[in-house]
Amino acid sequence: MAPAATAMNEVLVWRGALVIVGGILVHLTLGTLYCAGNLNPYVASYIHFRGAPASFKLTDMTWTSSAGIVGQGCSMYFGGVLERRIGPRFTTLLGGLTLSVGVALSYFSIKEYWGGFLLTYGFVFGVGMGVRHHHCCLAFSPLRLMIPIGPLFPRCPLSPLSSLVPSLPVRTTNY
């Protein structure tokens, strides 16, 4: 093999490794939606502490995850459009910014009204997830489309994120 071809293969290997590392970092954030069930008792307790209506129950917290999934579904198409126009890096950055703004705003919204928390932590968070979802990772690895999915997709049983992400909130909250 020519030295130029060997150098090109080495660059592709490093690029692929960086895609997987970047994808793991992105999915550590994305995976927080899937561990919302672990946080729901704490959030519901705080809502009751702040003076929630008597009709509010722990089971109402399932609406937060539902709003997140609706926001994700509504924005995935726009994430694909953005990815083609501004590229996968900036689409991922914009989605992460939207997701983080939703979480930051939930700090204020939970103090006032549960519906606001539902909107900020549920829907806005989900919009950020949808914009920033898997197509960005696949755009970085066009020749081997399925290689990044296994280690990154949090619902995949072989993914390191499937066991790490759900346990983080409980461990950090209880200590």
Is this prediction's pTM over 0.75? no
User: What separation in angstroms does the CA of 44 have from each of 12, 30, 63, 86, 122?
Assistant: 47, 22, 12, 39, 14
Single-letter code of the amino acid located at 160: P
pLDDT higher than 80, residue 23: no
The highest-confidence range among 6-10, 21-25, 76-80, 160-164, by mean pLDDT, is 76-80
Q: What is the pLDDT of residues 76-131, one digit of tens each?
A: 888 888 888 988 888 888 888 898 898 889 889 988 878 888 999 889 988 988 88
What does the DSSP assignment read for 9-40?
HHHHHHHHHHHHHHHHHHHHHHGGGGGHHHHH
pLDDT, greater one: 163 or 172: 172
DSSP state of 31: G
pLDDT higher than 60, residue 8: yes
Distance CA 67, CA 124 (A): 9
pLDDT higher than 80, residue 12: no
The predicted structure's pLDDT at residue 120: 92
The predicted structure's pLDDT at residue 44: 86
Range 133-151 average pLDDT:
53
